[in-house]
Amino acid sequence: MTSGKLWTIAYRDLLRNRRRSILTLLAVALGLAMLMMFNGLIAGVWEDALQNSIRLRTGHVQLRAPSYQEKKLSLQWQDLLDNPDGLATRLNRMSEVKAAAPVLWAGSILSTGDESVSLQIFGIDPTSQLYTPIRESLVSGEFLTPDDRSSIMLGQPLAASLGVGVGQKVNLALVNADGKADEANFTIRGLFSTGIVSYDESAVFMPLAKAQAFARTGERASAVVVLLNRQDDTEKVAAAIQSPGVTTLTWRDSNQFVLQTVETAMSFYVILDGIVMLIVAVIIANTLLMAVFERIREIGILAALGMKSRQIMQMFLFEAFILGLAGVVVGFALGSAGVAYLSNVGIPLGAAASVGGSNFALGSTMYAQFVPGIFMWLSVWTLVFVLLASLYPARYAARQEPVDALRSL
């Protein structure tokens, strides 16, 4: 019997019990759709966290003093860059660079009289395009100006929790470059909300000149942060700006926490994907076994008429392939629609987004991302699992002796 006839028989056999075939097809489709939506959502969360961190905190490239350690937020002169303005000017002349500017980071305690909270001071150049995202996220008040000596900007969530607003005064305290405690009163000039909860609740901005004077660092800075027009140019720019006495860090170096978290988590997600595929495989195996038991007499007749065991096995494998392929096609369509919905609407997280901490810049809404390569492999592996699951029922049918099969009913 030719393969064409076997395909025809397999197709007609599936139509005998349409309800069961449709339910099995839907099981395959929903399993794949769920995997696509889950993986698309996870990919979107990782990418969003990474790009948020690059856009708001690390940039694509950073220049620092060799001894500077970001976790310590050191203000000691030997840990700071001694010519940040010159380095930034040189970088801004490069065609690959969108913006480069010095920044001074310092740990601080903000007090309102009734409450206090620890946060990080960002001494910034308000005119730099590097801080366009902050300027665009302004929700009330005004943005900073370079010559402003008494104003700061706070995140709206932080201001709301402290019960302060635009125009009110707060106190900032820090340990300056001389190792002495210092404090000063500042007026809240504006409130911003980037949507990154951990960032909005832990950052305070002031003009770079004022931050340098407050921390007594002279004209030194913690780093020069560089934002590029294209992320792919990172290695090229990093190599071009290498200079003695300056450490160059790429976005990969500055975002090790995010990258290591993704690498560790991927093994867990592969296990989850495998579990879902196994569930789908069990459903397929159960469907085919039921079909075999219902058609034992028919199998005996086919064998008595000369159909070989190999052909009987092929017939059931063809049935599994038809169910699997149809399920994959429907599932791919459903999964794509689900990913499209999640990429536009997303899943709100609210305050729960802050659980990742300042090193994991989760937005207040999770959005999915289309990852065609992963979706294609999920489809292929779903079909492979379906075919593997069908091997046992197909072999069971092929090993039936004609005489025993005819006597079964």
Place of tokens 């920044």: 103
Residue 192 pLDDT > 90: yes
Tell me how far CA of residue 217 lies from CA of 122, 168, 211, 248, in angstroms. Answer: 14, 27, 8, 21
Q: How many helices, marked H, and strands, marked E, lie in the chain?
A: 14, 12
Pick the residue with more confidence: 64 or 305?
Answer: 64
| Highest-scoring range by mean pLDDT, 41-50, 256-265, 300-309 | 41-50
Give the pLDDT confidence score for residue 4 in this predicted structure.
Answer: 66
346 φ, ψ to 5°? 75, 180
Residue with tokens 């991927």: 266
Distance from chain centroid for Cα 4: 46
pLDDT of amino acid 295? 64
Q: Quickly count: other Cβ atoms within 10 Å of residue 66's Cβ.
A: 10
pLDDT value, residue 297: 64
Closest CA to 64 of 102, 31, 93, 33: 102
Q: Give which of 68, 109, 126, 106 is closest to 217, Cα–Cα.
A: 106
Query: What pLDDT, in 10s, does the model give residues 79-121?
Result: 899 889 888 999 999 999 999 999 999 999 999 877 889 999 9
- Structure confidence at residue 405 (pLDDT): 46
Q: Which tens digits make up the pLDDT trace of 6-18? A: 677 666 766 677 7
Specify whether the CB–CB gap between 211 and 367 falls below 8 A. no
Distance CA 261, CA 360 (A): 9
- pLDDT band of residue 302 (cuts 50, 70, 90) is low
Distance CA 29, CA 325 (A): 9
Cα separation, 373 vs 140, in Å, equals 43
What is the identity of the amino acid at 17?
N
Q: Convert the pLDDT of each residue in 51-61 to its tens digit.
A: 888 888 889 99
* pLDDT confidence of residue 270: 79
Higher-confidence residue: 233 or 405? 233
pLDDT in tens, 199-209: 888 889 999 99
Scan for tokens 């560089």, then name that residue: 226
Of the candidates 118, 117, 123, 116, which has an alpha carbon nearest to the alpha carbon of residue 75? Answer: 123
Name the 3-class secondary structure at 187.
strand
pLDDT value at position 225?
93
The predicted structure's pLDDT at residue 352 = 55
pLDDT tens for 361-397 read 666 677 888 888 889 998 998 888 888 888 877 776 6
First to last CA, the chain: 26
Most confident of 4-18, 32-46, 308-322: 32-46
**Where does 187-295 have alpha helices with state H?**
197-200, 208-215, 234-240, 251-254, 256-294
Task: Report d(CA 99, CA 294) in Å as an integer.
Answer: 71
Residue found by looking up tokens 């801080």 in the block: 131
Per-residue DSSP letters for 108-166? EEEE-SS-EEEEEEEEE-TTSGGGHHHHHTEEEE----TT-SSEEEEEHHHHHHHT--T
- pLDDT tens for 159-189 read 988 888 999 999 999 998 888 899 999 999 9
Residue 227 confidence (pLDDT): 93
Nearest CA to 317 out of 353, 354, 348, 291 is that of: 291
Q: What is the pLDDT of residue 215?
A: 92
Distance CA 396, CA 312 (A): 10
Residue 147 makes CB contacts below 8 A (sequence gap 6+) with: 207, 209
On whether the CB atoms of residues 196 and 63 are closer than 8 A, the answer is no
Average pLDDT in the 270-282 region?
A: 81
* CA separation for the pair 323, 158 (Å, rounded): 55
Confidence of residue 350 (pLDDT cuts 50, 70, 90): low
Question: How many Å apart are CA 64 and CA 223, to the nearest integer?
Answer: 5
Mean of per-residue pLDDT scores for the chain: 83
Single pTM value for the model: 0.75
CA angle 369, 372, 374 (to 5 degrees): 90
Amino acid identity of residue 141, one-letter, is G
pLDDT band at 346 (very low <50, low <70, confident <90, very high): confident
